[in-house]
Amino acid sequence: QKEVEQNSGPLSVPEGAIASLNCTYSDRGSQSFFWYRQYSGKSPELIMFIYSNGDKEDGRFTAQLNKASQYVSLLIRDSQPSDSATYLCAGNGSGNTGKLIFGQGTTLQVKP
């Protein structure tokens, strides 16, 4: 079974801190990885994607990919209460199927 694993949390951080969300994957053929944010009762919203090893920064968000260790992470700097949501990690798996394999999501709580 090709999987993407995330700790369900909740991960609780104080406002202004760095939140670190982690994800591991089992399919070595995966090339593309995505982070989605999902507020309670809403649909997932794409916030970042990463294809290459290393870091990719976009504002307060940094995605990190390490293909040798098969992990992906999302760092949120200067966390705000509005960042409180569930974060879904997804990988494209191997075989160019067009499908994504989603993790179960990590719930982040940012406390004022």
Partner 1 sequence: DVKVTQSSRYLVKRTGEKVFLECVQDMDHENMFWYRQDPGLGLRLIYFSYDVKMKEKGDIPEGYSVSREKKERFSLILESASTNQTSMYLCASSLSAAGGGDEQFFGPGTRLTVL
Decide: is 111 part of the binding site for partner 1 (CB under 8 A).
Answer: no
Decide: is 71 part of the binding site for partner 1 (CB under 8 A).
Answer: no
Decide: is 102 part of the binding site for partner 1 (CB under 8 A).
Answer: yes
Decide: is 64 part of the binding site for partner 1 (CB under 8 A).
Answer: no
Number of residues this chain uses to bind partner 1 (CB under 8 A): 21
Angle at 105 between CA 99 and CA 107, to 5 degrees: 155
What distance in Å separates the CA atoms of residue 91 and residue 101, rounded to the nearest whole number?
A: 5
What distance in Å separates the CA atoms of residue 101 and residue 5, rounded to the nearest whole number?
A: 10
What distance in Å separates the CA atoms of residue 20 and residue 1, rounded to the nearest whole number?
A: 26
Report in angstroms how near the CB of residue 87 gets to partner 1 at its nearest.
12
Decide: is 77 part of the binding site for partner 1 (CB under 8 A).
Answer: no
